Chains A and B, each alone.
Chain A
């Protein structure tokens, strides 16, 4: 019976067709009216209920966190942000960009000037009205010489911000058709300002569906519902408690015993066991999180594209997905654009494990019996060292000797990444092609971790950025993916799914955003108790 209930929920969330459900239900001995009744019950659960205290167990968080948006760097703070602040724009649960604090926006034809018109009558939790000045101060918090914000790189293309009544005008260095996506970055939270600066009285006040009641870094945050929330049909819980539970096993136990209602980052080794528990539902979303092995193309032997191709062909992607991600992911094609992205190039042939072809490339390069070092640490992503070892084993068949160097987690990002010629790395949650490419693939940018540059690629990037015709952009981004895949310095073995555990009492809309964990870090405002 329990299984049938689970199945009926799958119908509601679109994982199973009605027809298949009826066949399965009748095969299990249910009568037709009863099966129909089950479906109706599940459909009813999809209408949001109000109330309840939501407890979330999040596998991030540190005592060094703070509510200052300049310091937000982990999934815990991103979820806190999802509950208590808003942005000009948001990625909604269907993965589309939609206005949030802005009512609407328009751009100049060259996409270099953007005008965001603010909603009327918006108020912060402390009663202050939201003005264009607050928006400007919130963005300026991440700009300028003395900012210590982690989002400084993202804010870089913004040349100037001006207020025009209740409209905020952004002048960009060049056209960017995806600018609203940038405005939705969780760092650009809108907070009340005083004399052009936010945070004069702390950073605890936002406009979000929940108000911070207490905040203890690295331990817990408690929220109560904002009665004046401007969004209709959102923020259903009366109160929310977010716990930082770093130990995956502790999160899992707490979910099973009902001490929490939602957990993120389920341990992939035991997810199948957890799924057997009737009080728990497992949710999996495909996003843009991907794991990479960037090679420094300015360093021998990685400056030779034949060597890069040989390495790209020298390992079994599916095996790494199966063994490192336990199947909870999909294979990558040596470019960073996921199938969840708008302009994913599905016509690009999937690269396969082909030791013979890899050997051929090595021969072209005159480097048979190549020996290279691959630096890895679990700081890059859980399982990075295992993935590197699997790589080494398979590459041996192509006559490539990979020496896996296990690096310390401490200082990995400052001493190994972008320093060692070849290492392990991860990239998460860039919602647009342009953002991903201009962060790490455009020639000469700060985080170009392969030190790669390609004239055609850079030209296309600039052209596509200010192009407003979607069909043309599709074509241009498609070509760019092919260029990175065939000439770039990055090996992208896999895209990882976000896997979450939900109490069976939790309900959500059929569509769940995949740009981040937990419905784009907005589970608190989007989900409810059934």
Chain B
């Protein structure tokens, strides 16, 4: 067990180093983009005078490395800086959005992970059956379609509805926009975010399902499973008791990758469903060169990736006695 704790400590230390490098890369790559905040926010209305006044007030007239170290100094005291545009603390801006993003990600994960595991195990059990092929075709179709397209299709069937003249045949089950605010209750929020959560489920289920199926099938060919078969064990006992525990490590890794996608990769879904998540905040801030917010959001995203990978590794080790007790 101590080995695991040491590993976690090591990985966290490396994670902090990664975050530092990420912040460095983000800061200077944003600086490489044409125009700065003053020009981006004023757009067509940019006069040389106003641009200069903006730069002076925000300290944008200083060299990039000076600004970077100022920002870094703030980070060590827990201050991620202030947004150029709204003059609100970055932590406050990100906080609200991060809650929304996590809610949607958790909702989608709660549907997608059990669904993928069940579909995958069943597909392995009834390999090459009609069921197996159907599930494969359907999930591969949804993963191969762009997410906004899936979103529009869902909106068409479940929200706007199918119309025959002025008569609705079906539809109107869910709102087409996930309009959530603080005063919306929990179940209302669940209801309003159902379509985006289902869209995200459709995008990620295939990957996890196929990995579950493949790793179990892989194990089913190994000698110890053959032994279990020869002993006359039932199929379900073989899969759940003998095969699945050994297949967990790769499945957990795939789940972790998909969780990360649910949190950091859903900008398009946010736009289509008008959901106020972290992705939209990042995109807006990049296009307006609001660097403190860009930095803050990227750090959150990077931290999510690092933590999820760490969790996946720890869980893989725990699930594998050989890794748990290395010689």
Contacts and interface: CB of A to CB of B under 8 A. Distances in A.
Interface of A: 2, 57, 62-66, 71, 73, 145-153, 214, 216-220, 222, 243-247, 249-250, 253-254, 256-257, 259-260, 277-278, 408, 410-411, 413-415, 417, 425, 446-447
A145 B35 CA distance: 22
A408 B34 CA distance: 10
B166 A2 contact: yes
B77 to A, nearest CB: 25
Interface string B74-110: 0000000001111100000100100000000000000
A63 B93 contact: yes
A217 B86 contact: yes
Sorted nearest first, the 7 A-B pairs with minimum C-beta distance are A411-B34, A253-B176, A64-B85, A411-B35, A150-B45, A63-B284, A64-B288
8 contacts: A64-B85, A73-B45, A219-B276, A247-B271, A247-B272, A260-B177, A411-B34, A415-B35
Given A2-B166, A66-B85, A410 B43 contact: no
B272 A250 contact: yes
B33 interface: yes
Contact of A216 (B38, B48, B276): B276
A62 B284 contact: yes
Main secondary structure of the interface of A (DSSP, over half): loop
Contacts of B34: 408, 410-411, 414-415
Contacts of B272: 247, 249-250
Given A243-B274, A256-B160, A63 B285 contact: yes
Contact of A64 (B50, B159, B172, B285): B285
B274 A153 contact: no
Contact of A259 (B93, B176, B293): B176
B305 interface: no
A63 B41 CA distance: 12
B53 interface: yes
A300 B304 CA distance: 55
A247 B284 contact: no
A150 B45 CA distance: 6
B290 to A, nearest CB: 5
A150 B152 CA distance: 37
B47 A446 contact: yes
Contacts of B166: 2, 277-278
B41 to A, nearest CB: 7
Contacts of A219: 181, 276
Contacts of B273: 250
A149 B175 CA distance: 39
A278 B87 CA distance: 45
Interface of B: 33-35, 38-50, 53-54, 56-57, 83-87, 93, 96, 152, 155, 159-161, 163, 166, 172, 175-177, 179, 181, 271-274, 276, 280-281, 284-285, 287-288, 290, 293
A217 B288 CA distance: 14
A440 to B, nearest CB: 10
B40 to A, nearest CB: 8
Which of B45, B57, B166 is the most central at the interface, judged by chain A CB atoms within 10 Å of its CB? B45
B39 A257 contact: no
Contact of B159 (A57, A149, A257, A408): A257
Given A245-B274, A414-B46, A148 B176 contact: no
Which of A218, A249, A278, A414 is the most central at the interface, judged by chain B CB atoms within 10 Å of its CB? A414
Contacts of A250: 176-177, 271-274
A256 B44 CA distance: 34
Which of B50, B57, B281 is the most central at the interface, judged by chain A CB atoms within 10 Å of its CB? B50
Which of A64, A219, A411, A417 is the most central at the interface, judged by chain B CB atoms within 10 Å of its CB? A64
Nearest to B268: A247
Contacts of A146: 53, 56-57
A148 B45 CA distance: 11
Contacts of B276: 216, 218-219
Contact of B47 (A57, A153, A415): A153
A145 B181 contact: no
Given A151-B45, A249-B152, A415-B34, 17 more contacts: A57-B177, A64-B41, A64-B285, A65-B85, A65-B86, A73-B42, A148-B38, A153-B47, A218-B276, A220-B181, A247-B274, A257-B175, A277-B166, A411-B35, A413-B46, A425-B44, A446-B48
Given A250-B176, A250-B272, A413 B39 contact: yes
B50 A413 contact: no
A260 B160 CA distance: 13
A150 B271 contact: no
B42 A64 contact: no
Given A243-B179, A250-B176, A253-B160, A147 B274 contact: no
A278 B34 CA distance: 47
Nearest to A64: B85
Given A245-B274, A414-B35, A66 B86 contact: yes
Contacts of A152: 47, 49-50
Contact of B41 (A73, A245, A249, A259): A73
B284 to A, nearest CB: 4
B277 to A, nearest CB: 10
Contacts of A247: 271-272, 274
